[in-house]
Structure formats: structure tokens, C-alpha cells
Structure 1
């Protein structure tokens, strides 16, 4: 899980504590949709804000996944539009710029670990939204990206939820 602005997290925690109980999972889902906060951070915010761990985890994971879904659908449409335009113009008009160092690094990771590995290990380095867009941009089918990103979101959110819950029980 990446770090983010401390004020953002405390702001979400304060908001969770101040809104009616029925809206608290919605706030956690919104937090889960934020890049770098993600499902893991959203679950932690919800748990620390007073939600039951399962409710916090499910809400945060749903928020994270819905955001990734939107990113994948938009990225897929953009890729289709760009590739069909380049195909109509012919290869002579296709961009020939060398890939950026970041793109090369992503390509190496993708060739080494594939979609499952990049999806499952990606949250250690990048938000799931960025990883999903990069996967779709390289031509991985949207359905496959969503399956692996969904699994990664569930696994990472569950792991962090269990850790946070264990730490709170240990400290309390």
C-alpha cells in the first residue's frame, strides 16, 4: 500500500465518524476508489473509524473495484479508437517514438510475471487503477484485467483488514 497525504486519510476517518451509520460504508467505498488509498487503505480507514472489519473491507473493495472498472472501460475504448485510427492510416503514419523508461519497466515486469503477477504484485508499487490502465493499454483484454485486478483487490484488502484487526485486538 502506498502512502498518501495524511490529511486525506484523517479527513476520511473524521467523515466516517460524523455521518449516519448507513452512509459510513459509502464513505469507505469512496476512500477505496482513491488511487494510493485503494481498498486496503479504505478498509483501514473504516475499521479505525469504527466500522466492523467485514463491512469496511467489503465497502472499500467495492469502491476500489468500481473505480478500476471505469478506468478499464475507458482505457479499452481509448485503445480501440487509437489502434483503429492507426490501422486506417497505415503503418507509415504510426508513431515511432521509443518507449519511455516507465513503459519499458512495465513491459519487462509484464513479460516476466504476466497479467496475474502484475495484477497481484502491482499494488506494492502502483495504484490498481494505474496498473489496470497500463495492462489494457498493452492489449490485455478488459475482461482478463478486471478478473485479475478484482482478485488482487480482494486479496490485498483482506490481508490488510486482517492485519489491522489483529493489531487493534493486540493493542486494545
Structure 2
């Protein structure tokens, strides 16, 4: 059975390779907006597609951050709309939400933002942070730092600048 994420990645790689040079970073940025691909996956797609690593990393990170920014702003406004109308009913907390809240109380916004990509896409982490009332500016700051760090790290590994001795 085909893996939808790997099919999507291969599709983006083919699309990048078939585009004129000026449009290739746009495709990489669009790939960066996709959950589970994100900035680091998009940078890899761009590099494999023949884009200079710095351009691929920038495009992937920008695409990822723009998507996260939209999600944070929408989630923050939705939270304000719901809480200002008194729409906060006492609902049982889901296991997933409880797990997120434990991680948030343990690591805070910086920790959840920096470690979150190891478990779930930045878009999901950002939405959860904003929905729980973390100020949008704080979420965007730490998500931006996380996106830049992870995209840079993966780009450096892919290009061979960072290697691991086995």
C-alpha cells in the first residue's frame, strides 16, 4: 500500500524539477505549508529538486511559518470569540488534550515549540497553543524559532555539513 506522505513528497519533487527556476522556491514554500512535510521536509524536497540549499531552506521555512501564522491568528480569534460569549462549557478533557496540557505545563511554550516537531506538525502544535490561550505573539515567536532551527538542522544534515560518525 502506498504511503500518502511519501507520494506527496515525490509529487512535490517532480513538480519542483519540472518548474522554471524562478518558480521552484514557490513550490518549496507551498510544500512547507503542508503538515508533516513542513519547512525541513520542504527544504529537502527543494535540495533534491536541484535548488540551492539556502534558497530551499528559506522557501521551506517561509512557507511553513506563513501557514503557522494563519493558523495561530485564526485559532486565537476563535478562542476569543468562544470565551467572550461564555461558550466554555464543562466538557470532559480528551486524552490528547490532557497529554498536550501536561507537556505544556512541563516545558512551556519554548519547549513545546522546539520539541513538538519531533511528535506532531508545527501547525497542530501552534493551533493547540493558541487555542489554550497562549498569546499569539509568543506562539509565533517560538514557532518561528523552532521552524528556523529544524529547517536549518535538516538542511545542514542533507548537505553533509553536519555528519554523524557511526
Same fold (TM over 0.5): yes
- 1:1-172 correspondence runs (5 A): 5-86=5-86, 94-166=88-160
For structure 2, the residue ranges without an aligned partner over 5 or more in a row are none
Distance 2:4 2:106 in 1: 29
CA distance in 2 between counterparts of 1:43 and 1:53 reads 7
Aligned equivalents of 1:11, 1:4: Cα separation in 2: 10
The answer to whether the Cα contact below 8 Å between 1:4 and 1:36 also exists between their aligned partners in 2 is no
When normalised by structure 1's length, the TM-score is: 0.90
TM-score (norm 2): 0.93
Whose helix proportion is higher, 1 or 2?
1
User: How many angstroms does 1:140 deviate by?
Assistant: 0.3
Cα 1:11/1:161, change in 2 over 3 Å: same
- CA positional deviation for 1:95: 1.1
With 78-87 and 68-77 compared, the bigger mean Cα shift is at 78-87
Counterpart Cα distance in 1 of 2:128 and 2:66: 17
Shift >6 Å, 4+ stretches: none
Cα RMSD (Å): 1.5
Alignment partners' CA distance in 2, 1:64 and 1:97: 32
In the aligned structure 2, how far is the partner of 1:6 from the partner of 1:118? 26
Unaligned runs of 5+ in 1: 88-93
Cα deviation 1:54-109 (Å, max 9, x = unaligned): 0000000000000000000100110000000117xxxxxx4112200000000000
